[in-house]
Amino acid sequence: MIGQLTQLIIATLVAGTPLVYAALGELVVELAGVLNMGVEGMMVIGAISAFAVTMATGSLTLGVIVAIAAAMVLSLLFAVLAISFRANQVAVGLALTIFGTSLGSYIGKSYVGMALVTAPSPLAGLITKIPLLGQLHPLVWLSWILFGATWYFLYRTKPGLVLRAVGESPASAHAIGYPVIRIRYLATLFGGALAGVAGAYVSLVYTALWTEGLIAGRGWIAVALVVFATWRPERCIAGAYLFGGATMAQLFAQSAGVGLPPELMSALPYIATIIVLALISRNETLMRLSVPASLGKPFNP
List strand residue ranges (DSSP E) for 110-256, in order: none
Other Cβ atoms closer than 10 A to 282: 9
Query: What is d(CA 146, CA 149) in angstroms, rounded to the nearest whole number?
Result: 5
162-185 pLDDT tens trace: 999 999 999 999 999 999 999 999
Name which of 214, 189, 210 is nearest 40 in CA terms: 214
pLDDT tens-digit map of 252-300: 666 666 666 767 767 777 777 778 777 777 777 777 778 999 999 999 8
Nearest-10 Cα torsion for 137, 100, 265, 15: 10
Is the pLDDT at 153 greater than 80? The verdict is: yes
Nearest CA-CA partner of 15 in 151, 256, 201: 201
Mean pLDDT over residues 74-90, rounded?
A: 97
Centroid of chain to Cα 74: 15
251 or 66, greater pLDDT: 66
* Residue 272: per-residue pLDDT: 74
Q: Which of 187, 189, 208 is nearest to 47 (CA)?
A: 208
Residue of 125 and 203 predicted with greater confidence: 203
Cα gap 44→210, rounded to integer Å: 11
CATH class of the domain at 2-109+133-290 = mainly alpha
Lowest mean pLDDT among 117-121, 137-141, 237-241: 117-121
Distances in whole angstroms, Cα of residue 114 to Cα of each of 40, 108, 145, 218: 22, 10, 32, 21
Q: Is the pLDDT of residue 134 over 90?
A: no
The answer to whether residue 191 scores a pLDDT higher than 90 is yes
Tell me how long the chain is: 301
pLDDT at 126 over 60: no
